[in-house]
Amino acid sequence: MNTMIGLPVEVLPYVRGVQLVLVGYSGYTKGSRIKVDKMVRNEIVRAVGRIRNHMQIILENQYREGNLNLAQNAKICMEECDNLIEDVNKSVSGMQHAFLSGQKSPTKGELKRLIKHDHDVIDMVTKAVNLANSAEQSIALQEGNERQLVLHTTQLVTSCRGFFGARANILAGLSQKKKRK
């Protein structure tokens, strides 16, 4: 727990939650900000990749069976996944040389927001992965409404995309020191 010195106590449950998915997550302690940020982003990309793979399988099967509508829905979900991956890959991550660049240290509130955000995004993406898996399973077992599941997955991925954008706002707030009067 040496790495988690300085973290607000109330975010510890979130850190633990993220650590269940992301081993080595330390919650933006000093000196590991970039590494943790990259770790979170890689996890999101990996999870979204899993959703994409599920959707690709659905697309392939439905295309071969002639169910082009569902294949099209799966394709839309894949495109949404691609967009999210692109957003995550090209998102801001804060700057490395805080002293030279004028980057300010995050406050407890900002750290709390970041960690909670990471937790929520990962939670949301995990839900989307489970939904995508359920959609594929529903097709395989011929039970349930696979179209609904695919569309719900798309909706969740879209939500993730929007939600992930909020992270950029928090990190952007760290780029400039507050001017003291």
Partner 1 sequence: MNYTWRNNPNTVARLVNTKKIQTISNQETVLKPNEACALIVDGKIGDIITETLVKNLAGGFTRWVGDKFGATAKDRRLLFAMTGPMDYWIPFEGNLSSGEQVLGNANLRMRIDLENVPKLLNYFSNNTTTLTRDDVIRVIATELHSRVISPMISSCESIAELRSSTSLDKFELTTEVQMKNLLSNLGFTLLKAYPNFDKTESENIKANVASLGFKIQQNESVINSVIAGTKQKERLRIAEIESETNIGKAEARSSIQIEMESELKELRKKEEVLEVELNHKQRRNAIVEENKNSKATRAMELFSKVQEEKAKRIAKQVDSRRTVLEILTNSQKEFIQIAAQNGALTPEVIRELLRQQTAQKEIESKTQTVD
| Contact footprint for partner 1 (CB under 8 A) | 38, 45, 49, 56, 59-60, 63-64, 68, 71-72, 75, 78-79, 82, 86, 89-90, 93
Nearer to partner 1, 10 or 60 (CB): 60
The first and second tokens of residue 114, run together, are 């970041």
Nearer to partner 1, 11 or 22 (CB): 22
The first and second tokens of residue 71, run together, are 């294949």
Instruction: Quickly count: other Cβ atoms within 10 Å of residue 9's Cβ.
Output: 7
Nearer to partner 1, 68 or 109 (CB): 68
Q: Smallest gap, in angstroms, from Cβ of residue 134 to partner 1?
A: 22
Q: Smallest gap, in angstroms, from Cβ of residue 82 to partner 1?
A: 5
Q: Smallest gap, in angstroms, from Cβ of residue 86 to partner 1?
A: 7
Nearer to partner 1, 89 or 107 (CB): 89
Q: Would you mind telling me the total number of residues written for the chain in this entry?
A: 181
Q: Smallest gap, in angstroms, from Cβ of residue 92 to partner 1?
A: 10
The first and second tokens of residue 161, run together, are 């995309």
Question: Dmax over Cα atoms in the chain, in whole Å?
Answer: 69
- Residue 99 contacts by C-beta under 8 Å, 6 or more apart in sequence? none
**Residue 110: which of 55, 166, 180 has the closest Cα?**
166
